[in-house]
Amino acid sequence: MKVVVVESPAKAKTINKYLGSDFQVLASYGHIRDLPAKDGSVRPDEGFAMDWEADAKSERQIKEIANAVKKADKLFLATDPDREGEAISWHVQAVLEAKGVLKGKEVKRVVFNEITKSAVTEAMRNPREVHQDLVDAYLARRALDYLVGFTLSPVLWRKLPGSRSAGRVQSVALRLICERETEIESFKSQEYWTLAADFLTAKGAMITAGLTHLNGGKLDKFALGNETSALAAKAAIEAASFTVASVERKKAKRNPYAPFTTSTLQQEASRKLHYGAQKTMQLAQRLYEGVDIGGETVGLITYMRTDGVQMAAEAIAATRDLIAKDFGKDYVPSAPRLYKTKAKNAQEAHECIRPTDLFRRPDQVARYLDRDQLRLYELIWKRTVASQMAAAELDQVAVDVTSSGKDIVMRATGSVVVFEGFLKVYREDRDDSPAPGAEDDESERLLPDVTEGEAMARQDVRADQHFTQPPPRFSEASLVKRMEELGIGRPSTYASILSVLQDRNYVRLDQRRFIPEDRGRLVTAFLESYFGRYVEYNFTADLENQLDEVSDGKINWKKVLEDFWRQFQGAVEGTKELRVSEVIEKLDAELGAHFFPDDGTGHDPRLCPLCNAGRLSLKLGKFGAFIGCANYPECRYTRPLAVAGEGGEGGGEPLPDGPKELGIEPGSGEPVTLRKGPYGWYVQLGEGAKPKRVSLYKGLEPGAIDLEIGLKLLALPRDVGEHPETRKMIKAGVGRFGPYLLHDGVYKSLAKDDDVLTVGMNRAVELLSQAKGKAAGPLKTLGEHDGKPVTVHEGRYGPYVSRDGVHATLPKGTDPLTVTLEQALPLIAAKAAKAPAKKPARKAAAPKKAAAEDGEATVTKKAPAKKAAAKKPAAKKAPAKKKAAG
């Protein structure tokens, strides 16, 4: 028997079918151990020694793997083919060696880029050892992240109360978002004008041209900076006669884009499908690990954490065959297209992300995938096919129309696609800027034929006013792109970085754009002021390069840690004598322009609106920073951190005098108010001992709450409608863990883009179909035993049979749909025999007094505890002591 260890049950299930009965494939469920979240888990003074710890769930998996290995003669470590996968294999091997179960056993590492039968069997024929350089790079990265987090976060807590924590790469990503917001706030809009005119050709066709030269000189963007100059130019155009001065024609080719890497997949999924980076990676993981296609479980795409854009030769050949078959030979280029990775160090030396079988078209697998999986698979399939297609061919034409005196030049441009090539399958969407070489596909237009010297009859002339716009806020796609350009982090970490920033409430997503919360801006300003080197883009990128060199075996990983720790420790030591008041003064100066913006009226933005005398500034309280008046305690004006009158982390308008009244509830006539409590913002109906309250869920800003929204919140949970299959009501509400759907006892959390107040029936049914608890009902009823039904269920840990509250797991490999009543009853009986007798235990515990008299140890331990808890009068003396001391 041979044991194979992979990360996930889905992957184990797929591979087990390929390898046969001689192999037992087990899942580690990711990392089996990690650094304990406490100080001292990494010890620099002991050569960066690390303590590793397994949680209860991992201990169960370790035990199962160890028991299987004891009976086996060979162990294959088949975790993912990247650093994290190498690290998981290393951990598994280290733990099994410590348990002494590997003596005399051969241990091998196997990697495959796709989960298909041919790839898996080929990998098993070519095993290797665990790659220690990749493990060392993992250890260095893990130690760095731990040392920064557990050293820097306490500094934040002491010097900037209310802050959550700081991370090595997350802090740099946060800085990018905050700096972009500062650019937007400081942006000064500039006016400019453009002129366009319509011209009628001799053949009666119309051409629209824009002004490029005036008075013999070329115009720049701001040459016409006001209405006066624009109207003067318009008058000059209207007074002139025009002819065609030149016609320029040229052919252009546009080549396809490279296949997907991790980052480009995240970017395009964000633009085209509106998927967050984390959702994209989760869906890709499922497609990679395997989907049941007509009774056979197959991996649909190659490994999804990669910097590589190259494709295997057989995949290129298959793609070219498919293009010829589906689109014709004209769409197949004369030679295969070969792409090279642009990343400085593509440490994950894999193929691009592509379908494992190009002939498995999206429409053929649609019935086996849910909607989100299908859309992502289709995106990957199209991008891969397009990458091997012929270039698109365009005809581009530029016509210059000049005045009789040659002092005015107007230009008309147009292009038309004469051969679609790869554009027949795939066009890349824009975000903030076009992709390299991309043009505005949607504005293609064909200009009518004209000849040089042809007279042009001027028609309408238009002068249009414009204003420059600030740089756009980062979307997930543009932030991932910028981080990759700077070399910050690695593509496989981007999803978790963006998720952590939102979970810590440092940033929020609004209309798919990142907006920094004031808490995030404070943290960034603090780090830039006192730990500037460690949030510099070049420093973080250089450190990533060093980690890549560790994985290549060029640098010792402990040398990287020693160099970093020596300087970082010095920076931390330098803040020990720093007073909180100094920090607040510095941050008040740094962020003053943000919290107290000049509105241009001459009014002092720092003047207290309550006493009209005190100066507003940043203050620090027990629960974090806020805005307060310098005349405290005579003036008690405060407001949450946020620009006055705007929404934000404390939301919208300041509430110095208590709750904000939203209006009156029509039915009861009671007031509806917006309030802030110790656990955040909420809406309340009426007053009294127990008024109805509903908390604002994540993403719902206080500044956006009006009476209409407040009433909708108070009406939760609401009925969405009857489920079309069960005819039972679907409800939408807000609970402890946020917005949810409830149907037939099954809960399903709403996705980020779903609004609990507006989610409809179609979306609700779709989400509920994905709920983990959707199989709460039986898969099958086998019959009755002693008047009680015996049923088969699909549970979290696999299929099981149930009768009268006794659940028995089915043996591994048993098909739950073929189980009979005769097979189920012995399993249930065996499970019931193992269960503890609950009722006798309760009876034994009941006579506490008698047990105490018998001196039973458990009771004698409890008795003093009760006496101690009863000494309440002693606690009341404390205030008296304080008074006396005063």
pLDDT in tens, 1-59: 888 988 888 788 888 888 888 888 888 888 888 888 777 888 888 888 888 988 877 88
| Terminal Cα distance for the chain, rounded | 78
Largest CA distance in the chain: 119
CATH number for the domain spanning 337: value is 1.10.290.10
Confidence of residue 520 (pLDDT cuts 50, 70, 90): confident
pLDDT tens, position by position, 761-809: 877 887 887 765 444 466 677 888 888 888 887 776 678 888 888 888 8
Q: What is the mean pLDDT of residues 573-591?
A: 79
Is 840 part of a structural domain of the chain?
Answer: no
Is 864 part of a structural domain of the chain?
Answer: yes
- Domain region containing 370: 262-390
Q: What is the pLDDT of residue 171?
A: 87
**What are the CA-CA distances from residue 16 to residues 82, 121, 281, 296, 872 (Å)?**
21, 11, 24, 12, 63
Nearest Cα neighbor of 401 from 274, 237, 290, 280 is 237
Same domain membership, residue 649 and residue 559 = no
CATH number for the domain spanning 62: value is 3.40.50.140
Is 699 part of a structural domain of the chain?
Answer: no
Same domain membership, residue 245 and residue 302 = no
Q: What is the pLDDT of residue 775?
A: 42
pLDDT of residue 868 exceeding 80: no
Is 739 part of a structural domain of the chain?
Answer: yes
Q: Are 698 and 738 in contact (CB under 8 A)?
A: yes
Same domain membership, residue 363 and residue 412 = no
Amino acid at 760: G
Contacts with 203 (C-beta within 8 Å, 6 or more apart), sequence order: 448, 449
Active site residue 637: no
Q: What is the pLDDT of residue 628?
A: 83
C-beta neighbour count of 592 within 10 angstroms: 15
Q: What residues does 791 pair with on adjacent strands?
A: 781, 802
Q: Are 741 and 768 in contact (CB under 8 A)?
A: yes
Q: What is the mean pLDDT of residues 464-482?
A: 90
Strand positions, DSSP E, 723-830: 729-735, 738-743, 746-749, 780-785, 788-795, 798-803, 806-809
Cα of 515 vs its chain's centroid, Å = 15
Q: Are 520 and 177 in contact (CB under 8 A)?
A: yes
pLDDT tens, position by position, 656-699: 345 777 888 887 878 888 887 766 788 888 877 778 888 888 76
CATH number for the domain spanning 502: value is 1.10.460.10
Same domain membership, residue 781 and residue 768 = no
* Helix, strand, coil in percent for the chain, rounding step 5: 40, 20, 35
pLDDT tens, position by position, 302-334: 988 888 888 888 899 999 999 999 999 999 999
pLDDT of residue 861 exceeding 60: no
pLDDT of residue 738 exceeding 70: yes
Mark which of 658, 693, 728 sits at the end of a domain. 693
Query: Pick the residue with more confidence: 476 or 700?
Result: 476
When mean pLDDT is compared across 483-492, 574-583, 846-855, the lowest value belongs to: 846-855
Same domain membership, residue 48 and residue 98 = yes
Q: What is the pLDDT of residue 703?
A: 67
Name the percent of the chain lying above pLDDT 70: 85
pLDDT of residue 193 exceeding 90: yes
When mean pLDDT is compared across 32-46, 131-145, 156-170, the lowest value belongs to: 156-170
Catalytic residue among 138, 192, 257, 303: 303
- Secondary structure of residue 103 in the 3-state scheme: coil
Confidence of residue 852 (pLDDT cuts 50, 70, 90): very low
- Secondary structure of residue 668 in the 3-state scheme: coil
Q: What is the mean pLDDT of residues 815-829?
A: 83
Q: What is the pLDDT of residue 866?
A: 40
Q: What is the pLDDT of residue 210?
A: 94
Mark which of 467, 482, 503 sits at the end of a domain. 467
Instruction: Domain count for the chain, please give it.
Output: 8
Kindly state the helix (H) or strand (E) to which residue 464 belongs, with its residue range.
strand 455-467
Nearest Cα neighbor of 300 from 229, 240, 222, 384 is 384
Same domain membership, residue 98 and residue 24 = yes
Q: What value, to the nearest 5°, has the Cα angle with vertex 97 and ends 94 and 102? A: 130
Same domain membership, residue 722 and residue 640 = no
Q: What is the mean pLDDT of residues 542-557?
A: 86
Same domain membership, residue 176 and residue 197 = no
Is 594 part of a structural domain of the chain?
Answer: no
What is d(CA 828, CA 807) in angstroms, rounded to the nearest whole number? 7
Cα of 143 vs its chain's centroid, Å = 24
Q: What is the pLDDT of residue 848?
A: 35
Confidence of residue 430 (pLDDT cuts 50, 70, 90): low
Amino acid at 298: V
Confidence of residue 209 (pLDDT cuts 50, 70, 90): very high
Q: What is the mean pLDDT of residues 101-115?
A: 87
CA-CA-CA-CA torsion for 153, 157, 163, 165, nearest 10 degrees? Answer: 10
Is 597 part of a structural domain of the chain?
Answer: no
Mark which of 551, 583, 615 sits at the end of a domain. 583
**What are the CA-CA distances from residue 83 to residues 130, 257, 305 (Å)?**
11, 27, 10
Q: Where would I find the H helices in 331-401?
A: 362-365, 371-387
Judged by phi (left if over 0) then psi (alpha if -120 to 50, else beta), residue 430 lies in beta
Q: What is the pLDDT of residue 642?
A: 55
Q: What is the mean pLDDT of residues 587-612?
A: 79
Is 711 part of a structural domain of the chain?
Answer: no
Q: What is the pLDDT of residue 343?
A: 54
Same domain membership, residue 831 and residue 870 = no
Name the percent of the chain lying above pLDDT 90: 20
Same domain membership, residue 478 and residue 577 = yes
Same domain membership, residue 386 and residue 305 = yes
Is 700 part of a structural domain of the chain?
Answer: no
Q: Are 255 and 472 in contact (CB under 8 A)?
A: no
What is d(CA 15, CA 28) in angstroms, rounded to the nearest whole number? 14
pLDDT tens, position by position, 275-294: 888 889 989 988 998 888 87
Contacts with 408 (C-beta within 8 Å, 6 or more apart), sequence order: 211, 213, 214, 215, 236, 237, 240, 242, 402
Q: Are 254 and 273 in contact (CB under 8 A)?
A: no
Q: Is the peptide bond before 717 cis (omega within 30 degrees of 0)?
A: yes
Same domain membership, residue 406 and residue 374 = no
pLDDT, mean over the chain: 80
What is d(CA 716, CA 757) in angstroms, rounded to the nearest whole number? 8
pLDDT of residue 446 exceeding 70: yes
Query: Pick the residue with more confidence: 695 or 260?
Result: 260
